[in-house]
Structure 1
Amino acid sequence: MLLILATLIFVSLWYIFTTKFLPVETYDQKTKDNTGYDERQRAMFLEIFAKTFVGLIYYFLIGMILKAFALYQGKHVVYPFNHFPELIYLLIVALLLISNYFIVKKKFTS
């Protein structure tokens, strides 16, 4: 019961976050966009998210190749990442988002 309740709360908060702060192109809604982003900012959001997604896929593929050829055993990891390997993915996504933001912002402002 607690798992279902936690899932429902998370989904509700995620829906509120995406509809309030992200442009409608990022979550595919047919409703009117009242977030206040102009066309340039919308294009920046989409490009940042697309580049981050592609970078994450590259990371997954490199990890699979290394594991397939037994070049990476996964034993040289810092303590919190031993129990929660998802933290590595969240850290990678955060780094990709930040770096892609600066790259795309530089492209759109110059």
Structure 2
Amino acid sequence: MNRTVTWGDALVVAAFHSPGGLKSAVTAIAREVGPHIGNRNTFAKLLRVTSPTDLSEKDRWRAWLLLAAFGEDPRDWGILDQVVPTSIDRPALLERLTVRPKGFEPPTF
């Protein structure tokens, strides 16, 4: 039996390997961007996507955020930096979004 692994399937693996999984990633995203970006169900639908080309512009932005929270480089997943609004400091957001194991969080002052 052959099975094709989709983009969403790979995202499930990334979620599994991220500290706290999808829940922690969505919490970090809401903290940094605001709850208007979506809830856990909004982000969970990305796990069922076959290819990033199937995503709307807003969902590509959500995918970028989710991958960043997982500690992944969104560009490696086919999500280009152009989806990040120009008003956002992308490198700073990448640093703040990454979910880390307990004890490895960056200091907050």
Compute the TM-score of the two structures, normalised by the length of structure 1. Answer: 0.30
The structure with the largest helix share of the pair is: 1
Pair member with larger Rg: 1
- Highest RCO, 1 vs 2 (Cα 8 Å, sep ≥ 6): 2
